[in-house]
Structure 1
């Protein structure tokens, strides 16, 4: 790979970081973690079956353990802080409890705040998809 070419795979990026004389000295250790199987849990019992079934139709048969714990905590009225990598399922951690709250009380409201319009649009599309799958009457 020449200096004008950009690495396009993770392996190429790592090879570049390890071999570039300007970058390599900035790293003191390299460690590769072995892959792990996903850990899932049961849906919280309080979560309405319409939501569970809609998520199943969207390919989410069971929540990851962190999602199940966050959903259960929110349904129990506990404040939550979710810190996980990108694309690890944070959306479900707040969407499921919000939908449950609206099912429990049709006058309930939720305010979603996002740092960018693009993320807000992505989240609206995800929420709208779940609402449509569950055939719920929710306005967003």
Structure 2
């Protein structure tokens, strides 16, 4: 049996009697803006090395609002750059104040690992001592202590927050005393 191409599958769906209406939204050119001046030079260079020379409008607006101490919810399609909406202000804040801490909550371990990998690539490019650490059920006791004491960005999930972090909040003094941002990915 020959595999169908995407176009063949779409044409088949269009003809399906169970499809009542078919509407296509035409593509629009991306709306971008220069990276804000207040973004640290090392962070700008790290973005440029990753091919980001401008931000999408929603990324710039999110950055500016968060830096102005506003709460932000970003709702955009998959692969639209939501991650930079929170990584930019978090990294900027840590560069400005090494005591700044952030808590990232992801619903799944796989998503947390993907996001940590992307975050660490930017941190590596910045060449700044920023520690992003995962705190989950597989984190060894030795690493857990390091995360509690020196993690600028603690990446975890709701279950670990409720079962291992909040009940032991006295061990997390550095995080909670300096917590600037809480990022909830997959808000729904």
TM-score w.r.t. length of structure 2: 0.65
What is the DSSP-based 3-state SS (H/G/I as helix, E as strand, rest coil) of the residue aligned with 1:111? strand
- Where does residue 14 of structure 1 map in the other structure? 10
5+ residue gaps in structure 1?
none
Unaligned runs of 5+ residues in structure 2 are: 133-188
Do 1:67 and 1:89's aligned partners in 2 also have CA atoms closer than 8 Å? yes
**Is the CA contact 1:67–1:93 (under 8 Å) kept in the aligned structure 2?**
yes
**1:12 Cα deviation after fit:** 3.0
- Within the candidate set 98, 101, 126, 1:109 is matched to 101
Q: Which moved more, 1:92-101 or 1:33-42?
A: 33-42
Tell me, in whole angstroms, the C-alpha distance in 1 between the residues paired with 2:25 and 2:120.
36
List structure 1 runs of 4+ shifted beyond 3 angstroms.
5-8
Give the strand-richer structure, 1 or 2.
Answer: 2
The aligned length equals 132
Identify the residue that residue 180 of structure 2 maps to in structure 1. none
Q: 1:63 aligns with which of 33, 36, 55?
A: 55
Instruction: Tell me the TM-score normalised to structure 1 length.
Output: 0.86
Deviation at 1:8, TM superposition (A): 4.7
Name the Cα RMSD after superposition.
1.7
Does residue 136 of structure 1 match 2:128? yes
- After superposition, residues 114-133 of structure 1 pair within 5 angstroms as 114-133=106-125
